[in-house]
């Protein structure tokens, strides 16, 4: 069962709805305005903006908009005190996540608003025009250079923070303590691996990813004090045999990136590598309907990949075709629908 505390992070979404308010909130986060407000009970306007380059009009727009968005409250004018609303104080434990989601949305917004028609035509049409894919360019993850590491570290901050809040849900739904050696394919910075290890003291994890990602990930895992249990292996999931010696192989938010043929082939290679009784796990956003989950500003990055998300049925069908025995298909809603799918190689 998902613990209620694992879902509390979803409360940040209410501050990412309106594009104008959300974008100004991002500026307020970027320039340290929100930090100043968190450090005090209430502050006057002059102290709040001290040292910031906004003119009188800019300050007024900022104040009015943050009030409109229920981020702050208080009067304007000489001596008036401004404070965070109780509602916004409620999301302070997740401020890092809110900041990352708004940064990510800003990153994709220019692509979305300038290339909307291409996006409506097809993924390929959109990708050929979009600048987002330069940012997440996996070709720059093959050769470990300081420039490539700096580039990857920037986008890995986004994926790491998103995973920090999604991983606990997966750990609530599955007891990772029943496994001994886990291989997390496309495991990025190792954040998911770190969290599974924290919840299951007997588990050790190998993260399999591209060379630059492994290099940057090692530093992240080291900073979490988990280097003895989370290690990295350079691996190309599109081509190489899946390494043996693991009783659990996981894919968290990875398979939607790949066409059906690659996914089927990869799952076949996982089957070949697992020992009898070994488990494969898929934790992914699922296909969803924007009529039911309307797209807010902070949801833009998820919505842009709408076509890539599949129905759980696809994975179930492929796993059974390959010879796996299904052990669970759990469907639930976080920001959008997700599934946790597990299957076992028969003994
Ligand atoms: C969408 S991210 C998901 C990362 C992580 N699992 C998470 O949930 O935060 C996809 C991951 O797949 C990795 N990746 C992309 N192409 C790959 C390849 N050919 N072989 C191995 N990993 C790859 C990326 O480096 C990235 O870490």
Residue for token pair 């939607």: 256
Verify whether ligand 1 is closer than 6 Å to residue 187 (CB atom): yes
Give the whole-angstrom CA distance, residue 289 versus residue 95: 28
- Residue 270 — very low, low, confident or very high, per pLDDT cuts 50/70/90? very high
User: What is the pLDDT, as a whole number, of residue 80?
Assistant: 77
Q: Which residues contact 76 (CB under 8 A, 6 or more apart)?
A: 45, 60, 63
**Strand 81-84's sheet: what is its strand order?**
43-44, 81-84, 72-74
Closest ligand 1 atom number to CA of residue 152: 25
Q: Measuring from atom 27 of ligand 1, which residue has the nearest CA?
A: 188
Q: Is the pLDDT of residue 148 over 80?
A: yes
Name which residue leads in pLDDT, 251 or 41.
251
Verify whether ligand 1 is closer than 6 Å to residue 159 (CB atom): yes
- Give the CATH architecture of domain 4-92: Orthogonal Bundle (1.10)
CATH superfamily to which 136-344 belongs = Vaccinia Virus protein VP39 (3.40.50.150)
Q: Measuring from atom 12 of ligand 1, which residue has the nearest CA?
A: 186
Mutate to test the pocket of ligand 1, among 168, 169, 187, 188 (most ligand atoms within 8 A of CB): 188
Report DSSP state, residue 200: -
CB 42 within 8 A of CB 81: yes
Verify whether ligand 1 is closer than 6 Å to residue 157 (CB atom): no
Give the whole-angstrom CA distance, residue 105 versus residue 300: 6
Give the whole-angstrom CA distance, residue 209 versus residue 86: 42
DSSP secondary structure string, 235-246? --TTTSPPPSS-
Give the mean pLDDT of 129-143: 87
User: What is the pLDDT, as a whole number, of residue 78?
Assistant: 67
**Strand 204-209's sheet: what is its strand order?**
230-234, 204-209, 181-185, 248-252, 279-285, 337-344, 325-333
- Map out the domains of the chain as residue ranges: 4-92, 136-344
Q: Is the pLDDT of residue 282 over 80?
A: yes
Give the mean pLDDT of 117-143: 89
Q: Measuring from atom 16 of ligand 1, which residue has the nearest CA?
A: 138
User: What is the pLDDT, as a whole number, of residue 133?
Assistant: 77
pLDDT in tens, 152-200: 999 999 999 999 999 999 999 999 999 999 999 999 999 999 999 999 9
CB 309 within 8 A of CB 256: yes
User: pLDDT over 70 for what percent of the chain?
Assistant: 99
User: What is the pLDDT, as a whole number, of residue 315?
Assistant: 98
Classify 79 in phi/psi space as left (phi over 0), alpha (psi -120 to 50) or beta: left
Helix axes 260-273, 312-322, angle to 10 degrees: 40
User: What is the pLDDT, as a whole number, of residue 262?
Assistant: 98
Give the mean pLDDT of 132-145: 89
Q: Is the pLDDT of residue 267 over 70?
A: yes
pLDDT in tens, 25-82: 999 999 999 999 999 889 998 999 999 999 999 999 999 999 999 999 987 666 779 9
Mean pLDDT rounded to a whole number for the chain = 95
Q: Measuring from atom 11 of ligand 1, which residue has the nearest CA?
A: 186
């Amino acid at each position: 069962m998902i613990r209620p505390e694992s879902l509390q992070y979803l409360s940040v979404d209410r501050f990412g709805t309106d594009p104008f308010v959300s974008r100004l909130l991002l500026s307020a986060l970027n320039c340290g305005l929100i930090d100043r407000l968190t450090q005090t009970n209430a502050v006057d306007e002059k102290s709040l903006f001290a040292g910031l380059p906004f003119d009188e009009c800019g300050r007024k727009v900022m104040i009015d908009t943050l009030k409109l968005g229920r981020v702050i409250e208080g009067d304007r004018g000489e001596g008036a005190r401004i404070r965070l609303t109780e509602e916004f104080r409620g999301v302070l434990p997740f401020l890092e996540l809110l900041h990352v989601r708004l940064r990510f949305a800003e990153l994709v917004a220019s692509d979305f608003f300038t290339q909307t028609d291409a996006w409506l035509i097809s993924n390929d049409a959109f990708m050929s025009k979009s600048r987002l894919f330069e940012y997440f360019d996996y070709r720059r993850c093959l050769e470990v250079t300081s420039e490539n590491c700096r580039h990857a570290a920037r986008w890995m901050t986004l994926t790491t923070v998103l995973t920090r809040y999604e991983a606990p849900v997966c750990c609530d739904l599955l007891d990772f303590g029943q496994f001994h050696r886990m291989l997390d394919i496309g495991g990025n910075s190792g954040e998911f691996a770190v969290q599974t290890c924290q919840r299951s003291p007997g588990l050790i994890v190998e993260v399999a990813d591209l060379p630059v990602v492994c290099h940057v990930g090692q530093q992240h895992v080291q900073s979490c004090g988990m280097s003895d249990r989370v290690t990295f292996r350079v691996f190309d999931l599109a081509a190489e045999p899946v390494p043996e010696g693991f009783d659990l192989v996981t894919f968290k938010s990875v398979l939607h990136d790949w066409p059906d043929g690659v996914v089927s082939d990869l799952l076949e290679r996982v089957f070949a590598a697992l020992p009898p009784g070994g488990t494969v796990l898929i934790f992914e956003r699922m296909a969803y309907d924007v009529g039911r989950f309307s797209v807010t500003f902070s949801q833009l990055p998820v919505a842009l990949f709408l076509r890539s998300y599949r129905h759980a049925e696809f994975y179930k069908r492929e796993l059974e075709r390959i010879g796996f025995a299904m052990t669970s298909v759990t469907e639930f809603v976080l920001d959008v629908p997700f599934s946790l799918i597990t299957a076992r190689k028969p003994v």
